[in-house]
Chain A
Amino acid sequence: MIRSRGYWAGVWREFRRNRLALSGLVVVLALFVVALLAPLLANDKAYIYISQGKAYFPILFEYPELAGLNFREESEKAFVIMPPIPYTSSEYDLDAIVIPPSARHILGTDEQGRDLAARMIHGTRVSILVGFIAVFIYVTLGIIIGALAGYYGGVVDMLISRFIEIIICFPTFFLILTILALVGPSLVNVMVVIGITGWTGIARIVRGEFLKVREMEFVQASRALGARDRSIIFRHMLPNSLAPVLVSATFGIASTILIESSLSFLGFGVQPPTPSWGDILSQSRDFMDFAWWLTLVPGFAIFITITAYNLVGEGFQDAIDPRAVRK
């Protein structure tokens, strides 16, 4: 028997053919790995520390007898394997303030002697966390609100559509700034505020898709069979409306990361000492004339991340486009 291919298998086959989108996906996945493994990639605790015939794994377990020990300085006396970046994101190296990239600090340090590489690695977590959670919040909101408007139509649709039009009249970024100024800046607040202000685009997409799909014969057929509204919405309409939503969400992650960086740059985002790319960039302003690494590294990271998500989004869009010929 011939193996059947579902819809998403076809989309993936199409996506794979696009080299640029695929490399974007690789970057995105790499960022995930970095975010996930951040404490293992940049830490001042050793992976393995062997002293006096005893092996310790300080990065995994607490050892009271090793408290206060600087593992970086132990390598002459004992056998030590350190993480690739042997610093945490909030550790002050007072002998090395604003030094350029060197063997000791491969991406240099900032004005408090903190290792830039360690801060960048831990900052990845903030970017991804904000990107995904904020987008998840607004995609969920957008689907619910858009589905209500598109499925029930009439007055419900009219009220929701007008409400959306009112919301999009506000410049989103300043709306976010205003709300954050009221509720106070923090990681959770940034995610929630971006989430509750960003749903309008998704709602409009879902509404449009639902209006289109509602009239399709397979939906009519399901209604003629006596299916309940809930089953029609979730089994028939939503799966056939989701692809453009996911494309939009991919682009949404890129712009959310940018918004978070901008907020942190302005001081309305994630608060120190939690490292965030925007915050690092912000602090570099005072040393921009000589400490080029403090500007270039976070700027480049933001640029690469946004580009990667956008490439994935575009590849995704091409892959689901029904006008594109499937071979």
Chain B
Amino acid sequence: MPEKRTAIDSTPMVEVSGLKKYFAVRRKGLFQKPGQVRAVDGVGFSILKGHCLGLVGESGSGKTTVARSILRLIEPDAGRISVGGTLVSKLDRGELRRFRRNMQIVFQDPFGSLNPRMTIGKILGEPLKIHTSLSKNDVRERVAMLLDMVGLSGEHSDRYPHEFSGGQRQRIGIARAIALDPGFIILDEPVSALDVSIQAQILNLLSDLRGRLDLTYLFVAHDLSVVEHISDTIAVMYLGRIVEESPRAGLYRKPLHPYTQSLIKSIPEKKPVKHGFNVLRGEIPSPENPPPGCYFHPRCPRVMEICREEYPAMRPCAGARVACHLY
């Protein structure tokens, strides 16, 4: 694991503030108003150059919407997004298209993220064709080099995606993301669909590439165990909002928000210990109709009177930021 890199730049690579995305929901009856899902409701964070931010949340928390809104694969309704000093949220269509070489994404589903009708060579050649004017030979060489970087070999480039295993396909997806040397890569649950033994290999590859290519990551995951070793900072999302953001060491040692605490306790351990409370009761509420006050209060073991009435503001606390009335 790359514990300490030699020179950590302290300028932020990625800055997001006030990010909002509401989805309209089809009305259920003739006389009902169409509903609205606040998938992302005012999310903000920044990632330092060369750092990795782990964005963790249950399904339905809006983490994937955050990821795709930053790349504007989904148009956010509000918010300021800056990547490498460029205001992504203000780019027009053409500018955005050209800027895309600086920010890439690795998807969750290794089977769905590669076009089944294209050979690996064509899949990896696509970004080069769009953004560079390399000759056919140069493209082939670059593709072979990319495959080599992710632990595959150049002779794989004539094959089709269905001839590879899940882990291998994920490596191809990573190769596509690094093809244009972007500074920033979003990893949208890159190992969730893989076997545990393969997960570790892919995580090692990602750490390794981060060091070699000086990459900045936003690592989206649904549990805290996956992001533990790769992230510098971790943000926990609940129902479209960040509830806690904390440096890695602090978060795992002393989680602040009761939701984070229960997430940490739900990480499987080698020696199970008895927790006072560990299992989260109930389901994540519908984002179409969030509970009043703190969204987490119906499931919170330490709920207070104020939690039912007022959504807590984000406050700094012990080197972290947390949105909870306890602090």
- Interface residue ranges, A against B (CB under 8 Å): 1-2, 4-7, 216-218, 220-228, 231, 235-236, 239-240
Chain A positions within 8 Å of B113 at CB level: 217-218, 220-221
Asked if B163 contacts A4 (CB within 8 A), the reply is: yes
Q: A216 to chain B: which residues have CB within 8 Å?
A: 112
**With a CB–CB cut-off of 8 A, which chain B residues contact A236?**
115
Q: Known A4-B160, A226-B97, A226-B131; judge A217-B117 contact (CB<8 A).
A: no
* Residue numbers in B under 8 Å from A225 (CB-CB): 100-101, 104, 126-127, 130-131, 176, 180
Are B117 and A226 interface neighbours, CB within 8 A? no
Which residue on A lies nearest to B186, using beta carbons? A224
Is the beta-carbon distance between B116 and A221 smaller than 8 angstroms?
Answer: no
The answer to whether B130 and A218 have CB atoms under 8 Å apart is: no
Q: Is the CB of A7 within 8 A of B116?
A: yes
Determine the chain A residues whose CB is within 8 A of the CB of B73 once the complex forms: 220, 223-224
Interface status of B236 (Cβ within 8 A of chain A)? no
- What 1/0 mask marks residues of chain B from 85 to 114 whose CB sits below 8 Å from any chain A CB? 000000000001111110011011100111
The answer on a CB contact under 8 Å between B105 and A227 is: no
Partner of B119 from A4, A222, A224, A227 at Cβ < 8 Å: A4
Chain A residues near B159 (CB, 8 Å)?
2, 4
Quote the shortest CB–CB distance from A11 to chain B (angstroms). Answer: 12
What are the residues of chain A within 8 A of B101 when measuring CB–CB?
225-226
> Taking CB as reference atom, which chain A residue is nearest B113?
A217
Q: How far is the CA of A218 from the CA of B177 in the complex (A)?
A: 12
Given contacts A4-B158, A7-B160, A217-B107, is CB(A227)–CB(B116) below 8 Å? no
1/0 contact string of B43-71 vs chain A (CB within 8 Å): 00000000000000000000000001001
Once the chains are docked, how many angstroms separate the CA of A5 from the CA of B117?
10
Contact of A240 among B99, B104, B117 (CB under 8 A): B117
User: Which of chain A's residues have a CB closer than 8 A to the CB of B97?
Assistant: 226, 228
Bound CA–CA A236/B118 (angstroms): 9
Nearest A residue to B176, CB-CB: A221
Please, how many angstroms separate the alpha-carbon atoms of A223 and B105 in the complex?
A: 11
Asked whether, in the complex, the Cβ of A1 is within 8 Å of the Cβ of B155, the reply is yes
Is the beta-carbon distance between B130 and A226 smaller than 8 angstroms?
yes
Tell me the complex Cα distance, A101–B23, Å: 73
Q: A235 to chain B: which residues have CB within 8 Å?
A: 115, 118, 126
The answer, among B100, B155, B158, B163, for a CB contact under 8 Å with A224, is: B100
Residues of chain B lying within 8 A (CB to CB) of residue A217:
107-109, 112-113
- Min CB distance, B135 to chain A, in Å? 20
Residues of A within 8 A of B155 (CB): 1
What are the residues of chain A within 8 A of B180 when measuring CB–CB? Answer: 225
**Contacts A221-B107, A224-B100 given; 8 further ones with Cβ under 8 A?**
A4-B160, A5-B160, A6-B117, A7-B117, A220-B68, A221-B113, A236-B115, A240-B115
Closest to A236 in B: B115
Report yes or no: A224 in contact with B130, Cβ–Cβ below 8 A. no
B324 CB to closest chain A CB (Å) equals: 35
Closest to A218 in B: B115
State in angstroms the CA–CA spacing of A1 and B156 once bound together. 9
Residues on B with C-beta less than 8 A from A220 are 68, 73, 105, 107, 113
- Which chain B residues (286-306) contact chain A, with CB distance < 8 Å? none
Listed residue (A1, A221, A222, A231) with the most chain B CB atoms within 10 angstroms of its CB: A221
Q: What is the CB-to-nearest-CB distance from B314 to chain A, in angstroms, rounded to a whole number?
A: 30
The smallest C-beta distance from B5 to any residue of chain A, in angstroms, reads 27
A227 to B158, CA, bound (A): 22
Q: Compute how far the CA of A279 lies from the CA of B155 in the bound complex, rounded to whole angstroms.
A: 59
The reply to whether B98 and A226 form a contact with Cβ atoms under 8 Å apart is yes
7 residue pairs of the A-B complex, CB under 8 angstroms, read A1-B158, A5-B160, A6-B160, A220-B73, A224-B100, A225-B100, A226-B101
Chain B residues lying within 8 Å of A218, measured Cβ to Cβ, are: 112-116
